[in-house]
Chains A and B, each alone.
Chain A
């Protein structure tokens, strides 16, 4: 046997038998199929979360828009919380699976400066408010659960739960170097312009508007309602709905109309049990805008002087800060 034949026979011996070869192929095919199955399962599992994220973004871009939820929240604050403003640029939005977190700071004008008073953390699942966390830095918190009588701004026909005499004592006892926020209720309904021109030496920050239900604080359906109103001072900040507004009254009505389709969300966001917007919008369109109470802020002495005015029936002292009045 020459070397070539030797090599050939060796190669033949080494070569896998047809049986071995097909077994190897089958084993390889099984391994390959096994891995394909494992990886395809992993693929499907890993596609779930990003797909839901994309659907979440699509929902908040084309369904109930995230900006709509933000506007509803912001408008509700302006109209239902006396003397408060927001800074929309500081709205924090965070999206997770089919939900949106909205957090923001709420400010109050006390004297000449704005102070952060509350931090809101809201969680929406789709367009429904599912969680609300509020951390307040207020020293005098507005009643959390509104009733027919516990409001700080009351209609001429209502009697408040607080005692004005006590509030007068508290105001009189404050040092002169303080600025205060006060809730003034009138003996009648007045146009906001007339009230602003009467209040000298202080800023009228928010006016509660009579919407036909405040004399009883009950809606036509017998539900407890809370005061609504609008900020009175001109607001030139870009994010304010009242920016460059000729008439705050018209903007107020437009905001109420904007909120109407989202009333359920607005009620959830606010501390109010009911807003009854349809009934109140209808009243405002027919009867116009009159106020029964305003929130003012300014030096303690100036607020004290206001109490001599016959139009002021009740006064509730709000926040107090050290002197910051630079006028």
Chain B
């Protein structure tokens, strides 16, 4: 395999991984929201977000995998937004400690 092809593949895989990790975290979030219980992955949420951003950033550097990278980063940003909204508005709507 040529080095160029290998490089392209690495970026492509990074892009796909970024999207898949982001989607996995989102799926866990859906399960915990709909069931009302925390899934075992809930406390590793930030790890998934970091991984999704890392892979996404890596994929972003190559034109062919840029869309995938952006997709993964967008998922991570959505998850961060969700956690922020839940945290700050949570204080506003539930006035008890």
Residues of A near any B CB (own CB < 8 A): 35, 39-40, 42-43, 46-47, 49-50, 53-54, 57-58, 60-61, 65-67, 88-89, 91, 93, 95-96
Contact = CB atoms under 8 A, between A and B. Distances in A.
B93 A57 contact: yes
Contacts of A88: 96
Interface string B69-97: 00100010010011001100110111110
Contact of A39 (B23, B89, B94, B96): B23
B10 to A, nearest CB: 16
Contacts of A66: 93-94
A65 B71 CA distance: 34
Interface string B18-48: 0110010011011001101000000000000
A58 B89 contact: yes
A46 B34 contact: no
28 contacts: A35-B16, A39-B19, A39-B23, A43-B23, A43-B75, A46-B23, A46-B27, A46-B29, A47-B26, A49-B34, A50-B26, A50-B30, A50-B82, A53-B33, A53-B86, A54-B81, A57-B85, A57-B90, A58-B89, A60-B93, A61-B89, A65-B92, A67-B93, A67-B95, A91-B96, A93-B93, A93-B96, A95-B93
Contacts of A53: 33, 82, 86
Interface of B: 16, 19-20, 23, 26-27, 29-30, 33-34, 36, 71, 75, 78, 81-82, 85-86, 89-90, 92-96
B93 A50 contact: no
A93 B27 contact: no
B63 to A, nearest CB: 15
Contacts of B30: 46, 49-50
Given A57-B85, A57-B89, A58-B85, A93 B26 contact: no
Given A60-B93, A61-B93, A46 B19 contact: no
Nearest to A95: B93
A interface: dominant SS = helix
A49 B96 contact: no
Given A35-B16, A49-B34, A57-B89, 19 more contacts: A39-B20, A43-B19, A43-B23, A43-B75, A46-B23, A46-B27, A49-B33, A53-B82, A53-B86, A54-B81, A54-B86, A57-B86, A58-B89, A60-B93, A61-B89, A65-B92, A89-B96, A93-B96, A95-B93
A89 B96 CA distance: 7
Contacts of A65: 92-93
A89 B71 CA distance: 43
Contacts of B85: 54, 57-58
A39 B19 CA distance: 8
A169 B30 CA distance: 62
Report which residue of A53, A91, A96 has the largest number of chain B beta carbons within 10 angstroms of its beta carbon.
A53
A43 B94 contact: no
B96 to A, nearest CB: 6
A60 B29 CA distance: 21
Contacts of B78: 47, 50
Contacts of A67: 93, 95
Contacts of A49: 29-30, 33-34
What are the 6 A-B residue pairs with the smallest beta carbon separation, nearest first?
A57-B89, A66-B93, A61-B92, A46-B26, A61-B89, A60-B93
